[in-house]
Amino acid sequence: MFKKTVVTAMAVAVAFGATACGSSDSGSGGSGGGGEDGSITMGFSQVGAESGWRTANTQSIQDSAEEAGIELQFSDAQGEQENQISAIRSFIQQRVDVIAFSPVVETGWDSVLLEAQRAGIPVILTDRSVDSEDDSLYETFLGSDFVEEGKKAGEWAVENWGSQPTYVAELQGTTGAAPALDRQEGFADAIEGTDNIQVVASQSGDFTRAGGREVMEAMLNSNPQINAVYAHNDDMALGAIEAIEAAGKVPGKDIQIISVDAVRDGMQALADGKINFIVECNPLLGGQLMDLAEKVVAGEDVPKRVVTEETTFTQEQAIEALPNRQY
């Protein structure tokens, strides 16, 4: 059944190939795509299920596709770039109307994106971007400004930690991922010149709770002077809290913690005083993604960059926001 659909789709593609899909046009998706009945099929390659943020993001995409009547081919890459590349190739073969994905790391996408472009299938980057010279390889990038998030974290650190010697353990996200690179950069820029704040250890905890715990344990062993943590996401901060408590210290007091995301468990830890400050990163991108997909498939112009709006939370603000938090 599945095979037959693919074959039919391929035959249609071949029949119209030369004109409708062009061979290597701009890939601007202006072919007026969509199925005969106007329905849209989206191939979506997700990073994995590494964090509370990711779970909320997946849910938002699935719900929004259903609401918009977009048929979603969802593929979970389990944190591996090669799985994402195979998923994208299979979406190209199936001739979906639009491909969206959240690239696990920044580099290494050019050839598969070129394949999509040559097949005339528009690509939307969501959540994370790619580091490519050629921005014609995708239509738009929808997601947060991660450098800005790092900056907000760093500014809070300067204000709250800058007057006493602060030895920071940085728990980085997945190595090579845009949010890890950019959150590190934004934070470093913001604390630069504040002599009291030093990042004494910085390592990847892969955006997971287990990773955060493991890295924090090792860091506390080798750097007993650590009295602050900057975690690139809530899950790693929650893992770090476990390691800090296991070491007989009080998270939020002996060791203050800043993190990024503001998912429910993180917000609860902030409300409980175990985390001290959270920079929000919004995972609910599904609605905007489906709107962009509809426009791109219809050949309409879309902005090359759509930045999501975000805030920050102190303990008081977390207590206030928690009852209405959706994720």
User: Across the chain, how many H-helices and E-strands are there?
Assistant: 11, 12
Q: How far is CA 171 from the centre of its chain?
A: 16
Give 102 or 276: the residue with its C-beta nearer to ligand GYE: 102
Cβ 52 to ligand GYE, closest distance in Å? 7
Q: How far is the CB of 93 from ligand GYE (least distance, A)?
A: 27
Would the CA dihedral through 22, 24, 30, 32 be positive or negative? positive
50 vs 97, beta carbon nearer ligand GYE: 50
Nearest to 58 by CA among 106, 109, 126: 126
The alpha-carbon radius of gyration of the chain (Å, integer) is: 22
Q: Which is nearer to ligand GYE, 104 or 228 (CB)?
A: 104
Q: Could you identify the residue written with the tokens 């990847």?
A: 204
Phi-psi sector, 325: left (phi>0), alpha (psi -120 to 50), beta = beta
- Could you tell me the smallest distance in angstroms from the CB atom of residue 288 to ligand GYE? 14
Give least dist CB 1 to ligand GYE, A. 35
Helix residue ranges per DSSP H, 162-285: 178-191, 209-222, 234-246, 264-271
Using CB under 6 A, list all residues that contact ligand GYE: 50-51, 53-54, 127-128, 179, 207, 233, 235, 260-261, 281
Which H/E stretch holds residue 258?
strand 256-261
Cα(80)–Cα(48) distance, integer angstroms: 8
In one-letter notation, the amino acid at residue 143 is: G
| Strand arrangement, sheet containing 70-76 | 70-76, 40-46, 98-101, 123-126, 140-143, 305-307
- Report residue 89 as tokens: 């190739």
Q: Nearest approach, Cβ of 307 to ligand GYE (angstroms)?
A: 13
- 152 closest CA partner among 253, 269, 259, 241: 259
Burial of 232-248, coded b for 16+ CB within 10 Å and e otherwise, reads bbbbbbbbbbbbbeebe
Least distance CB 117 / ligand GYE (angstroms): 24
Say if CB 277 and CB 312 are below 8 A apart.
yes
Is 22 or 287 the residue whose CB approaches ligand GYE more closely? 287
Q: Least distance to ligand GYE from the beta carbon of 147, Å?
A: 12
Nearer to ligand GYE, 210 or 298 (CB): 210
Minimum CB distance to ligand GYE, residue 75 (Å): 17
